[in-house]
Amino acid sequence: MKNMNALTKKQKDTTQNTFKSRLSDCLKRRRMQKDYSLEDVAAFLLTSKSTIDRYEGAASIPSEMLPLFAICYEMSISEMMDTCDVDGLTKGFRGLVKIASKAQRRKGQRKQMVIAEKERKRLVTKVYEIDGKLVSEDVEESPDMAERKSFREMCRDGSFDIGYVVPFTDEEFAAYIQTEYPEKVSLLSCAARLIKYSDAVSGKDTMNTMITNFIFDEFIINKLIDNPDDIDAKRAYMYYKSLLETYDKDCGDLDGFNGTGTPDL
């Protein structure tokens, strides 16, 4: 037998109770999103209203019921598990932020680039016709709009300033994702897993940047663009921005990262 440290009774009970509570919350939240009553679900699953009520009250749910709930709520069992795994959700997101931060640093010291852009001057020659004569003049021209950062780019690199807003905690961010994007929760874990196993892929840096940008757009930036006054969207952005700033400041591993630059899953 391998040398393994057995769980204590308290660890076992806490883990089981936490999982049951989160699974029950997931099923109840999904039922309400579908606008199903307890009677509707009970009739579909050929059981009683009181049984469904018990399941949503953190009672133990038989494993054979999970695929039936999956059919009823049009979600996979893996989506249920992802929704229950709050720690895994936030750890996966932190891992993606670390990868994005490293990519931004590879582009070459973001702050210095912004300063250099502001200080850079470009002279162009303008030609005018005055009284039938061509006259040339060297004038200073500001950078083209195409060279300036878009709102989306500023959000991605954390340089957009929305003023002082208290960021979400890990637990609050997980709850926000589960409530606001219930059908997209699995995207987060899938993206983290895809990046984790992409080390042998040619052009992995480009692929990783595309993946992280997509995730940040879907879960953070799009809502901030569509609803700039939404307080939850602002708090989600500040949570993301604080992770970027923490990594930039410490230049080290955040909780949930391994030494390879990929999320621990």
61-77 pLDDT tens trace:
898 999 999 999 988 88
Query: How many domains does the chain contain in total?
Result: 3
Question: Which residues span the domain enclosing 14?
Answer: 9-83
Task: Looking at the structure, tell me whether residues 13 and 54 fall in a common domain.
Answer: yes
Task: Output the CA angle 34-220-201, nearest 5 degrees.
Answer: 100
| pLDDT tens track for 15-31 | 888 788 878 888 888 89
- Which whole number is the average pLDDT over 225-237? 93
Distance of CA 253 to the CA centre of its chain: 18
Does 261 fall in a domain?
no
Does 174 fall in a domain?
yes
Task: Looking at the structure, tell me whether residues 169 and 54 fall in a common domain.
Answer: no
| pLDDT tens track for 128-185 | 667 777 777 766 655 444 445 688 888 888 888 888 899 999 888 988 887 788 778 7
Closest by CA to 161, choosing from 224, 90, 117, is 224
In this predicted structure, the answer to whether residue 232 has a pLDDT above a threshold of 80 is yes
Does 236 fall in a domain?
yes
Output the pLDDT for position 261: 37
Task: Looking at the structure, tell me whether residues 186 and 243 fall in a common domain.
Answer: yes
Task: Looking at the structure, tell me whether residues 232 and 176 fall in a common domain.
Answer: yes
Does 257 fall in a domain?
no
Indicate the pLDDT class of residue 214, thresholds 50, 70 and 90: very high
Q: Which of 48-62, 126-140, 240-254: highest mean pLDDT?
A: 48-62
Task: Looking at the structure, tell me whether residues 62 and 125 fall in a common domain.
Answer: no
Does 1 fall in a domain?
no
Task: Looking at the structure, tell me whether residues 37 and 137 fall in a common domain.
Answer: no
- In 172-233, DSSP assigns E strands to none
Task: Looking at the structure, tell me whether residues 96 and 135 fall in a common domain.
Answer: no
- Return d(Cα 65, Cα 63) in angstroms, integer: 5
Task: Looking at the structure, tell me whether residues 102 and 211 fall in a common domain.
Answer: yes
**Predicted TM-score (pTM) above 0.95:** no
Give the position of tokens 């891992």: 95
In this predicted structure, the answer to whether residue 43 has a pLDDT above a threshold of 70 is yes
In this predicted structure, the answer to whether residue 187 has a pLDDT above a threshold of 70 is yes
- Which whole number is the average pLDDT over 196-222? 85
Q: What is the CATH number of the domain that holds 20?
A: 1.10.260.40
Does 3 fall in a domain?
no
Task: Looking at the structure, tell me whether residues 79 and 90 fall in a common domain.
Answer: no
SS3 track for 209-226? HHHHHHHHHHHHHHHHHH
Task: Looking at the structure, tell me whether residues 128 and 218 fall in a common domain.
Answer: no
Does 4 fall in a domain?
no
Does 225 fall in a domain?
yes
Contacts 24+ apart (CB under 8 A), 254-257: 254/94, 254/97, 254/98, 255/91, 255/94, 256/90, 256/91, 256/92, 256/94, 256/95, 257/94, 257/95, 257/98
Task: Looking at the structure, tell me whether residues 29 and 137 fall in a common domain.
Answer: no
Residue 91 near residue 265 (C-beta atoms within 8 A): yes
Task: Looking at the structure, tell me whether residues 103 and 223 fall in a common domain.
Answer: yes
